[in-house]
Every structure is written in structure tokens, then in C-alpha cells.
């Protein structure tokens, strides 16, 4: 093995291998520096096949499969794959580097000081992993066919917490997908034994619910500080998993509430039909539980925890990164700034040697004046050139990257200092001071931030872009009276008030509640950032004393509405020769009926003549302009409810 030791740092294609991070049975992972055009630099991770298995065709196929699967995944809770390559007859994967620690290392540090991770922190971290896992499970190809990706190796080693508080799932090395070229042999177990599911150890066909079981094991161990299925040997471990006898976590940690016991035990049900069927369901229950604790917990809290428990490592890593920043690509020629030169008429070739036919006594003075003017001009331009050089030396630079390729970067938009590029990119010649940066990409939430750049500084900004509606936050909904059905953007949440429902972050949110015997009521909450939660309360008005059994909610079936209309119109006070229309939309729109502007939605019980009408819904902010034809009958009240996103 001595001949295979790599001296670091070492050039590896367009990368510099800086330090060895981890070595496994088949591959090794390095921290590396990537070089690109125009001085672009980025610290990444390089996963490289070990020399002793470089001739193993099966492993190489599995290694390539990992890259092919993971490169399709772009999610803030999954490590991003940047490149699959081959250098010096060795395959490698370049991926996003996460500066932090895996859960196994964190657990060891906590055990050393005889502490368990805080309950809400454990729930938050696993909910973030659920978000990434659910994205992978639901991933489709370009034709919208499901890829059926299963990770198959969910374990503490494959969950990394960054020093910034971000949670990342890594290593799809043995992931199963419909498109894989390699196939697992019958009876072959892949993954870490103590985190396998019962169906996995029984070598049964697997689906996404196997990953949910494995993640439940990780959560149990985070809450209790104890290994769940680890036996004296592999055989005993596998037998424990087959039985899947799981005590409530509260037996070992009294801070675990009964609701969290229920969540953990459901994720660890031996029968996969009794588990959470999707990771998103697992995440929703965890987020609701955190919300119910009345203790706000988010990325900032995780960052504070990491900064406290790994202060020495964080300081050491920061010092290393500062040193790595000085490392340059060999033979790379830095662009030089050259002060402008001044050329006078006297610089023309042979002028001094060619006699002038009109040179007289006055010509000498004229020549001296020309020379003097040229010298002054040269001095002025020389000073200007020096100022240009000085300004360039004082100027700051900004390197911008994002998890979504070709994100548009706008610096100081609508100003004379405006600069634009697409990630990954480098902006140079920026004056020191405060600057506004905007990052945008179609289909993603636009981000805006204020940056402070120092003289001569090169600052790096790595942005995480989120798809519109991809992230969720919580809204606590209450009503008087309670028991009203909650609708989020016109979709039935399946829950009644009072309840904390998930809502999409980054887009407009409308909450509506409906209850038999009461008029429906809704409220536009606007765009809710993912870092915020909201509370909303409704006071519902009864239906003017009529029999509650005759009052229909909006979500009632059409057949039921038709059957009751004849009985309703007289009690509702509807005119038998007129028709009525209510319009509710998400987002709020300008409502036009037969080209007449009525007002903004919601429009409540607008009186019209029976017959056909054209309803136009407009919202310039979201570029919405939709025409909806309706047919209204005499004595009836129809509701037009539309989600226009």
C-alpha cells in the first residue's frame, strides 16, 4: 500500500487534492480545489475509486450508477453531484463539499459528555432528511416516469450536518433505481446491517418504505443515545431487526412526548403497510410536533449547536480554507494591468533625422511648446493610469455559485454599478462597501441579500435556490366555532380547526375554512417565508338562522348540491328569477364578468341574470389572465373556486 500513498496537495486534472477526508472499502474521499475560467475557484469533494479495486468491473458499474442517479437529484437536503470523470485511468465523482460532521461523529461527541441531542433538534434534523428523501423517492425522468429511487443505506454516517446548520443526505452508492445498469444478486445484503429494514434483511423486494424504517432507527438512536438493533454479532443484529421489537423512546428519555413516541413507533412498524407510506408524511408529523412544543427550532439553532460542540474543528477548518484560498493553479498567468502610454508627434520614426524645409527660428519655440504639451499630457494620463491600477488593486471580487446551474446573478441592479452573470461565476472590479445582490431562476424563489465587501477582498457566496412551493412552513388555523374544514389554496387539507397545517413557502397562500351551517370564509396570507410560521383565526357567520342541514360546504359533492337546491333557494332569500355567483381564487385576482370589472376576489354572491356568462380572472404580478365560461340557472347560487398557480 505504500506505493499508493498520495502526497498532498497533488494536481488531479483541473482539481488540486488537498486532504484526505475519508477512506472506505472501495473508495476514498478528498477535499479538493477546483479551478475554472476567469479565476473561478471552488472547494469540492472528490470521491475516487481505490487503486486496488480499479479493475473490479462490478464496483465500477456501481460507482457510475451512483453518479448517474445522484446527478439527477437537485435538492437542498441532498449533496449535489457536479461531475463524473476519469483521470489517470481512475474514475471519480466531484460533488458539493459539506463542511461539518456526520451524525455518527456528533453522537460520539454527545456520548463523551453524557448528553442526548435535544428532542426538538433531533426531530428537526430528521424532518430535513425526510424532505430530501421524499424528493428522491418521487423523482421522475424527463417524461414524468417515476425513477423509483431507494437509498438503501440510510445511516448516521450518511447524514451530514454542516457548520452552517444545513442537513445533507449523502452516498447513493448502493441506491436502487429503475434505470440502474447493475443488479443486486438475490440474497445479497447491501447497506449497514444495524440500520436495515426487516424486509431488507429478509432479501425481499424493497420500496421507499425501507428507507423510512432505516431513518426511524436513526431517530430512535438520536433521541435515546442507545443503539436499537446492534447485537453481539451480525447474526444477532439481523435477528433483532427481523423481530423489530421497539420500545417507546420515552422509556430511555423522559423528554420524549407521547406524540413523538407514536411518530417513532409508526416509522419502525415491522409491517411496512403500517409505516408512513411516504417520507413527506413522516416529515409533516415531525414538523407539527416541533410546532406544538412552542419552541421555535430552525437552521440557526443547529448552527449554534455545531459552533459550540465543534468549536476547535470549526476554527481549524476555517484556517485550512484560508490557506487553500492561496493555492493557485500551476502556470496560471494572472491578468496584468498596464498603465496607458502616451505617444507624441515626435515619436514618429525618422522625424529627428529629416530636415524641415520651413524650420526657422520660430520653429524651435513651437517644437518646445509641443514637447511641453506632450510631457504634461503624459503626466496627466500617467496619473490617470496609476489611479486605474490603484482602483483595480482596491476593488473587491465576488464569486457566486448555487445549487441550480445558470442561476442569474444581479449585483446592484438598476444602478450605474450594475453587474450580471450566471452561476458559477466571478464578478470583479467591485467598489468596496455595501451592495445588493439578487439571484433568480425561472421556477425558483428569487433571493435578495445585502453584502458588505472590503477593500481587495474576494468573497464567496454560495446560494441555495428553492423551487416555488418546494418548501413548507406551518400555519396554525383556528375558528369560532371549531371543527371547520381547512383548505389551503383551495385544496382540502384533510384537517379541521384548530390545527397547524403545512403550507407552501415562497408563494401566496390563501386559507379558507368551511363548516356546515356557516358561511365559508377565507383570508389571503400573502407570501410566507420558510423561516416564519403564522397564526390565523376566523369568526364564522351562521347562515341567517336556516336549518344547518340544508347548508352545503363548497367541497360537498355536486349531486348533493343539486338535490338540495330547490329547498334552499326560498330559505336563502334568493330571487327565483335571478342567478348568483361567488368567485374565490388563489392568488387574489381582478374579477371581470362579461367584460365588466367587479372587483378583487373573493366576490360573494354576485347577482346576475340566468344564462351563460364569461368570467375573466387577472393578476398581473403572476401573469395570470384566464377566461372561465359559466352557465347559471335561475334561483341558484354557484361557486367558482380556482387555484391558478
CATH code of the domain covering residue 636: 2.60.40.1120
**φ and ψ at residue 393, rounded to 5 degrees:** -70, -35
Are 253 and 298 in the same domain? yes
Are 323 and 435 in the same domain? no
Are 60 and 152 in the same domain? no
Residue 264 is classified by DSSP as H
Are 68 and 119 in the same domain? no
Domain limit, last residue, from 64, 97, 130: 97
In a domain, 591, yes or no: yes
Are 80 and 110 in the same domain? no
Q: How far is CA 334 from each of CA 328, 337, 594, rounded to the nearest angstrom?
A: 10, 10, 66
Lowest model confidence (mean pLDDT) among 195-199, 224-228, 366-370, 478-482: 366-370
Are 22 and 114 in the same domain? no
> What is the Cα gyration radius of the chain?
33
Q: Say if CB 28 and CB 93 are below 8 A apart.
A: no
0.75 cut: is pTM over it? Answer: no
CA distance 612 to 107: 67
Pick the closest to residue 438 from 415, 469, 458 (CA basis): 415
Are 250 and 160 in the same domain? yes
In a domain, 338, yes or no: no
Pick the closest to residue 644 from 589, 590, 601 (CA basis): 589
Q: What is the pLDDT of residue 512?
A: 94
The domain in which residue 448 lies consists of: 394-463
The CATH number assigned to the domain holding 27 equals: 3.30.200.20
Are 120 and 217 in the same domain? yes
In a domain, 448, yes or no: yes
The CATH number assigned to the domain holding 440 equals: 2.60.40.10
Are 149 and 271 in the same domain? yes
CA distance 263 to 281: 10
Q: Quick check: 178 pLDDT over 80?
A: no
**For 21-69, how does the pLDDT look when each residue is reduced to its tens digit (9 = 90+)?**
888 767 789 999 987 766 778 889 998 887 777 677 777 777 777 677 7
Domain limit, last residue, from 97, 126, 146: 97
In a domain, 564, yes or no: no
Count the neighbouring beta carbons within 10 Å of the beta carbon of residue 178.
11
In a domain, 77, yes or no: yes
Q: How far is CA 247 from each of CA 209, 242, 256, rounded to the nearest angstrom?
A: 20, 15, 12
In a domain, 50, yes or no: yes
Are 446 and 398 in the same domain? yes
Domain limit, last residue, from 278, 304, 328: 328
**For 537-566, how does the pLDDT look when each residue is reduced to its tens digit (9 = 90+)?**
898 888 764 444 444 444 444 444 444 444
**φ and ψ at residue 162, rounded to 5 degrees:** -80, 160
The CATH number assigned to the domain holding 275 equals: 1.10.510.10
3-state class (DSSP) for residue 368: helix
Pick the closest to residue 127 from 616, 502, 451, 516 (CA basis): 502
Pick the closest to residue 15 from 327, 334, 462, 460 (CA basis): 327
Give the residue numbers marked as catalytic: 153
C-alpha 125: how far from its chain's center?
15
Q: 171-175, 246-250, 474-478: which has the highest mean pLDDT?
A: 246-250
Q: What is the pLDDT of residue 187?
A: 40
Are 121 and 238 in the same domain? yes
In a domain, 605, yes or no: yes
**For 495-544, how does the pLDDT look when each residue is reduced to its tens digit (9 = 90+)?**
999 888 888 887 889 999 999 888 899 998 888 876 677 888 898 888 76
Average pLDDT over every residue of 291-299: 80
Q: What is the pLDDT of residue 376?
A: 59
Burial class (CB in 10 A: 0-12, 13-18, 19+), 69: buried
3-state class (DSSP) for residue 280: helix
In a domain, 586, yes or no: yes
Average pLDDT over every residue of 289-309: 86
Burial class (CB in 10 A: 0-12, 13-18, 19+), 336: exposed
Are 205 and 279 in the same domain? yes
Q: What is the pLDDT of residue 375?
A: 66
Q: Say if CB 609 and CB 579 are below 8 A apart.
A: yes
**Domains in the chain, number:** 4
Amino acid at each position: 500500500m505504500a506505493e499508493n500513498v498520495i502526497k498532498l496537495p497533488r494536481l488531479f486534472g483541473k482539481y488540486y487534492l488537498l486532504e484526505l477526508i475519508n477512506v472506505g472499502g472501495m473508495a476514498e474521499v478528498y477535499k479538493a480545489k477546483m479551478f475554472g475560467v476567469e479565476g473561478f475557484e471552488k472547494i469540492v469533494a472528490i470521491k475516487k475509486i481505490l487503486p486496488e479495486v480499479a479493475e473490479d468491473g462490478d464496483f465500477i458499474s456501481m460507482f457510475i450508477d451512483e453518479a448517474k442517479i445522484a446527478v439527477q437529484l437537485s435538492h437542498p437536503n441532498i449533496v449535489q453531484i457536479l461531475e463524473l470523470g476519469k483521470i489517470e485511468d481512475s474514475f471519480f465523482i466531484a460533488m458539493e463539499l459539506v463542511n461539518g460532521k456526520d451524525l455518527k461523529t456528533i453522537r460520539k461527541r454527545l456520548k463523551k459528555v453524557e448528553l442526548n441531542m435535544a428532542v426538538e433538534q433531533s426531530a428537526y434534523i430528521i424532518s430535513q432528511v425526510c424532505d430530501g428523501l421524499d424528493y428522491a423517492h418521487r423523482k421522475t425522468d424527463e417524461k414524468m416516469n417515476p425513477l423509483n429511487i431507494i437509498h438503501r443505506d440510510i445511516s448516521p454516517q450518511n447524514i451530514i450536518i454542516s457548520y452552517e446548520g444545513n442537513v445533507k443526505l449523502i452516498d447513493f452508492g448502493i441506491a436502487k433505481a429503475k434505470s440502474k445498469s447493475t443488479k443486486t444478486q438475490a440474497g445479497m445484503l447491501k447497506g449497514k446491517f444495524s440500520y436495515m429494514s426487516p424486509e431488507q434483511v429478509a432479501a425481499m423486494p424493497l420500496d421507499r418504505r425501507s428507507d423510512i424504517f432505516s431513518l426511524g432507527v436513526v431517530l430512535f438512536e438520536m433521541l435515546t443515545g442507545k443503539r436499537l438493533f446492534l447485537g453481539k454479532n451480525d447474526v444477532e443484529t439481523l435477528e433483532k431487526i427481523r423481530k423489530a421489537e421497539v420500545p417507546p423512546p420515552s422509556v430511555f428519555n423522559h423528554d420524549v412526548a407521547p406524540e413523538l413516541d407514536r411518530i417513532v413507533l409508526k416509522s419502525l412498524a415491522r409491517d411496512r403497510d403500517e409505516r408512513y407510506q411516504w417520507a413527506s408524511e413522516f416529515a409533516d408529523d415531525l414538523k407539527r410536533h416541533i410546532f406544538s412544543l412552542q419552541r421555535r427550532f430552525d437552521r440557526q439553532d443547529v448552527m449554534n449547536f455545531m459552533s459550540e460542540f465543534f468549536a476547535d474543528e470549526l476554527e481549524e477548518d476555517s484556517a485550512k480554507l484560508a490557506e487553500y484560498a492561496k493555492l493557485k493553479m500551476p502556470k496560471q498567468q494572472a491578468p496584468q494591468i498596464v498603465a496607458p502610454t502616451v505617444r507624441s508627434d515626435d515619436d514618429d520614426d525618422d522625424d529627428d533625422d529629416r530636415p524641415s524645409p520651413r524650420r526657422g527660428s520660430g520653429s524651435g519655440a513651437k517644437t518646445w511648446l509641443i514637447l511641453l504639451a506632450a510631457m504634461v499630457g503624459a503626466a496627466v494620463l500617467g496619473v490617470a493610469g496609476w489611479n486605474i491600477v490603484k482602483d483595480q488593486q482596491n476593488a473587491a471580487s465576488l464569486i457566486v455559485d448555487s445549487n441550480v446551474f445558470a442561476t442569474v446573478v444581479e449585483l446592484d441592479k438598476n444602478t450605474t454599478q450594475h453587474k450580471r452573470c450566471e452561476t458559477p461565476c466571478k464578478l470583479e472590479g467591485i467598489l468596496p462597501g455595501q451592495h445588493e445582490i439578487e439571484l433568480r431562476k425561472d421556477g425558483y424563489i428569487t433571493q435578495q441579500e445585502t453584502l458588505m465587501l472590503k477593500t481587495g477582498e474576494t468573497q464567496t457566496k454560495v446560494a441555495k435556490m428553492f423551487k416555488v412551493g418546494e418548501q413548507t412552513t406551518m400555519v396554525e388555523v383556528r375558528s369560532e366555532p371549531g371543527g371547520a374544514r381547512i383548505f389551503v389554496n383551495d385544496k382540502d387539507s384533510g384537517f379541521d380547526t384548530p390545527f397547524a397545517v403545512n403550507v407552501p413557502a415562497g408563494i401566496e397562500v390563501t386559507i379558507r375554512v368551511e363548516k356546515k351551517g356557516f358561511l365559508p370564509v377565507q383570508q389571503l396570507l400573502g407570501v410566507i417565508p420558510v423561516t416564519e410560521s403564522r397564526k390565523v383565526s376566523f369568526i364564522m357567520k351562521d347562515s341567517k338562522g336556516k336549518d344547518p342541514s340544508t347548508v352545503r360546504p363548497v367541497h360537498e359533492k355536486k349531486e348533493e348540491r343539486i338535490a338540495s337546491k330547490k329547498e334552499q333557494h326560498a330559505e336563502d332569500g334568493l330571487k327565483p328569477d335571478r342567478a348568483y355567483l361567488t368567485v374565490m381564487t388563489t392568488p387574489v385576482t381582478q374579477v371581470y364578468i362579461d367584460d365588466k370589472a367587479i372587483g378583487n376576489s373573493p366576490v360573494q354572491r354576485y347577482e346576475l341574470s340566468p344564462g351563460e356568462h364569461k368570467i375573466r380572472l387577472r393578476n398581473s404580478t403572476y401573469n395570470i389572465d384566464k377566461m372561465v365560461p359559466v352557465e347559471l340557472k335561475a334561483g341558484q347560487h354557484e361557486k367558482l373556486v380556482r387555484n391558478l398557480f
